[in-house]
Structure 1
Amino acid sequence: MAEPPDPHGLDAQGFIEREGSLARVPPAFRPVVAAARDRLLDAFGARMHSAYLYGSVPRGTARVGRSDLDLLVALREEPTDADRDAARVLGAALDEEFRQIDGAGTLLFGRGRLLSDLETYDLGWFVACLCTPLLGEDLAAHLPRYRPDSLLARETNGDLALFLPRWRERIAGAGNLEEARRPLVRFMSRHLVRTACTLVMPRWQGWTSDLREMAEVFGAYYPQRAAQLRAAAEYGYEPVGDAAVLRAYLDDLGPWLVEEYARVHGVKAPRPDQPRRTTG
């Protein structure tokens, strides 16, 4: 068995460190971040409790013209349809104006949900460890510190079974258009690689958001799937519009991960708004 990369991403006490910061934003993306900060205030005003960056931009690994801008907004109340419309308008305007990014998206949640007991080891962990404060009071001050243990693994990615039926519907909707399939390959590749990495995270005792490194970590514990995960990591960065890739995800890798994840860590606690489990 190949040795996994040396564990990292933890502090001296073994807690997952916050991975991004405004200081790491590459110079080319700083005007985009500044514009996003101003426009979030215009779009949500007093309804907004706080706002965050996440993804490659605050990690300092964004690629000009290839990376998107990822935002999360914590609202004082649960988001409304008007809030979602405002987020879509904001994202479209930023994407059109700034060539540095290839898309912009904003996740919206109520502050109460982000700090709820049910979300402590999912959305709470996401905010505390993977999000970089941009505006307002940092919710991480109200959240625990996190270790790379089985509880965190289960509550972050132990719900893959719920996604597979929805992915089938999205693939069917894309038809035979290669351009329509490419973003699906990118999204699904990233989701599966991250799920595979959190499957082995408690054994590795480290954290990373780099897809290629995630695949290497996983492959050290499941060598029979290593090549498959390495390919998925590459498609996460450089997607193709190949229908065979999507079929392999839905008919092989995805179902295998569902079964192995449930065997090792169990199934994520149900959420009130989660989709019903379906077959096929």
Structure 2
Amino acid sequence: MPQGPASVRRGPESCRGLDSLGFIEREGSHARVGPVFRPVVTAARDRLLEAFGARLDSAYLYGSIPRGTARVGRSDLDLVAVLREEPADADRATARALGRTLDEEFPEIDGVGTLLFSRARVLSELERYDIGWFVACQCTPLLGEDLAEFLPRYRPDSLLARETNGDLARLLPRWRDRIAAAEGTEEALRPLVRFMSRHLVRTGFTLVMPRWNGWTSDLREMAEAFAGYYPDRGEQLCRAAESGYEPVGDGAVLRSYVDDLGPWLADEYARVHGVKTSRPPGWD
């Protein structure tokens, strides 16, 4: 059963990640990018501009590199490219090729992921509390106009929780298909373990975020915050946090996610915050 706030250890770190008015502060900055990663970031900026040219509206960094917590040779480079038009399959192929080139050229990183959105989608009312929040609060500007200037300030409330991670029930069948399609090798399963572990930890955290009243992107801190309210599930989420950082390609872990932890979390999320607003067909 969920526990009240009295069971959660809170101290000087209470309300962390918020400004003096209670809004979520933007994570990351170029000042936090470690010297070893700066050539990678510069190359990524130049390659994005070369790849998309005048169609590129803006670009961003997110993840551990702009937060200053990246590990050399272990962390990936996370990018967002916002186009003036809706991305097409050719754009996604271009982004994948760009990522492969950067990954091969720079041993300092372990993989590159590039999210593609249109400017209209980022600024749409439908995505205001999902992609819009993500760009405004979790992304560091790299190129072009900063779209955060056109978006509201965000609080760690139930609306934000619902619209960011209130779709887990819809995702679980896709996850089962991905697991079934993956080769049963450690190398093939490890990326799935990392991805699904991180997603579940973030979902668990945003479930309790309004009560915790703060923001963090540290997976371990997310899991600990969750465990303060759901001690019966806390150990599971803490293990998932470790797998998010140090994944092992174990099929049993993935099955536990889609058969146990994931369905429970989806049901509890819907009970507490409701279900994420539906998107048009093909929107995602």
| TM-score range for the pair, normalised by the shorter chain length | over 0.9
Q: For each residue in 1:16-65, what CA deviation from the matched residue of structure 2 results, as whole angstroms up to 9, or x when unmatched?
A: 00011111101110000000111111001100110000000000000000
Given that 1:162 and 1:275 are in contact with CA atoms closer than 8 Å, whether structure 2 keeps it comes out as: no
**CA–CA distance in 2 between the matches of 1:275 and 1:251?**
27
Give the drift of 1:183.
1.0
Q: Match for residue 53 of structure 1?
A: 61
Correspondent of 2:121 among 110, 113, 120 = 113
Q: Match for residue 184 of structure 1?
A: 192
Unaligned runs of 5+ in 2: 1-6
Unaligned runs of 5+ in 1: none
Q: Match for residue 211 of structure 1?
A: 219
Give the drift of 1:173.
1.1
Q: What amino acid is aligned across from residue 42 of structure 2 in structure 1?
A: A
Give the drift of 1:274.
5.7
Local SS of the residue matching 1:209: coil
**CA–CA distance in 2 between the matches of 1:189 and 1:225?**
14
**CA–CA distance in 2 between the matches of 1:78 and 1:2?**
43
Give the drift of 1:2.
4.4
Q: Match for residue 201 of structure 1?
A: 209
Where in structure 1 do 4 or more consecutive aligned residues deviate above 3 Å? 273-276
Give the drift of 1:106.
0.9
| 2:138 is equivalent to residue 139 of structure 1 | no
**CA–CA distance in 2 between the matches of 1:257 and 1:267?**
12
**CA–CA distance in 1 between the matches of 2:283 and 2:46?**
35
CA RMSD in angstroms, aligned pairs only:
1.3
> How has the CA–CA distance of structure 1 residues 78 and 196 changed in structure 2, closer, same or farther, with 3 Å as cutoff?
same
**CA–CA distance in 2 between the matches of 1:103 and 1:225?**
31
Given that 2:8 and 2:225 are in contact with CA atoms closer than 8 Å, whether structure 1 keeps it comes out as: no
- Equivalent residues in 2 for 1:23-172 (5 A)? 23-172=31-180
Give the drift of 1:176.
2.3
Q: Normalization by structure 1: what TM-score?
A: 0.96
Q: Normalization by structure 2: what TM-score?
A: 0.95
**CA–CA distance in 2 between the matches of 1:195 and 1:101?**
26
**CA–CA distance in 1 between the matches of 2:101 and 2:186?**
26
**CA–CA distance in 2 between the matches of 1:135 and 1:275?**
25
**CA–CA distance in 1 between the matches of 2:230 and 2:15?**
17
